[in-house]
Amino acid sequence: SQTIHQWPATLVQPVGSPLSLECTVEGTSNPNLYWYRQAAGRGLQLLFYSVGIGQISSEVPQNLSASRPQDRQFILSSKKLLLSDSGFYLCAWRGPVLTGTEAFFGQGTRLTVV
């Protein structure tokens, strides 16, 4: 069966520090991968999605970036965190079909920038 791992679960980082969140998927090949951010009491904002290795689409211009160095690995990064980067970050995957497949979410990372 397919599983998705996301870590760390919680993170407290000072303003201006770098960030690296990692997400890996097991049990499937060529998944579509996503990074969402959920601010407190708000909806799910799509940050990046990827349909293949090295292919990244950015939805929101900001100081975050994403990379997909391997088929089932998706990394969210920042060189310098801002206070506004605080939130709940969720990684998700969908099957390698055009549309209409369920998204499976990781457990999420609660990031607090202080």
Partner 1 sequence: GENVEQHPSTLSVQEGDSAVIKCTYSDSASNYFPWYKQELGKRPQLIIDIRSNVGEKKDQRIAVTLNKTAKHFSLHITETQPEDSAVYFCAADKAAGNKLTFGGGTRVLVKP
Q: How far is the CB of 24 from partner 1 (least distance, A)?
A: 15
Question: Counting contacts by CB under 8 A, is residue 8 touching partner 1?
Answer: no
Q: How far is the CB of 99 from partner 1 (least distance, A)?
A: 5
Which of these ranges, 16-24, 33-41, 66-74, 78-86, lies near partner 1 under the rule CB under 8 A?
A: 33-41
**Identity of the residue numbered 39:** A
Q: Exactly one of 15, 53, 82, 103 binds partner 1 (CB under 8 A); which one? A: 103
Question: Counting contacts by CB under 8 A, is residue 106 touching partner 1?
Answer: yes
CB 109 within 8 A of CB 23: no
Q: How far apart are the first and last CA of the chain?
A: 38
Q: Left, alpha or beta for 51 (phi > 0: left; psi -120 to 50: alpha)?
A: alpha
